Amino acid sequence: MVNPVQVGKVAPDFEATAVYDGEFTKIRLSDYYQKKYVVLFFYPLNFTFVCPTEIMSFSDRFAEFRSRDTEILGVSVDSKYSHLAWLQLERDEGGLGTLTYPLVSDLKKEISTAYNTLNNSGVALRGLFIIDKQGIIQYSTTNNLSFGRSVDETLRILQAIQYVTENPDEVCPSDWEPGGKTLKV
């Protein structure tokens, strides 16, 4: 039996084709281990309503993630060609324009299945995973299709994960913000 995706366990590795900077490229999750944190998020489909708002928000805030030694990977069950077409359209024409991180193609639905985000209709729910430099899932959340995620909250959680990693004798209480009071363990 395959181990379920769970916080505190190793993230399922994958290799897939992504579109980044107008080019097709191979992405392997484990290539980031020992180098970067990863925000891995799943979205249902290209050319839909809520998805571009999230994808563009993560792109617009990418510098904040990059400054925290973090890579962002977006994943959907669309083909690499669909990703490329969407990226080649400017935002005011219904496209994404230039993104600051790769969009991964999961056409065979293997990654979505491994991360337990695939719904009965064959599209990914809005799953989000924060994976540390050792490849361990530190955070996961899944939304239904009709509403998006908060980039602010993702960034706050990432900062909390990094804070407690650097300060193992402390924990972050509810609503903790960087610079806020922590608790000693």
* Three-state SS at 158: helix
Q: Do residues 149 and 143 touch, judged by C-beta distance below 8 A?
A: yes
Between CA 151 and CA 157 the distance in angstroms is: 10
Q: Which two tokens stand for residue 95?
A: 């496209």
Q: Which helix (H) or strand (E) holds 15?
A: strand 15-20
State the helix-helix crossing angle for 51-60 and 151-166, rounded to 10 degrees.
50
Say which of 51, 103, 111, 160 is annotated catalytic: 51
Q: What is the DSSP string of 6-61?
A: -TTSBPPP-EEEEEETTEEEEEEGGGGTTT-EEEEEE-S-TT-SSHHHHHHHHHHT
Tell me whether residue 51 is one of the annotated catalytic residues.
Answer: yes
The set of catalytic residues is 51
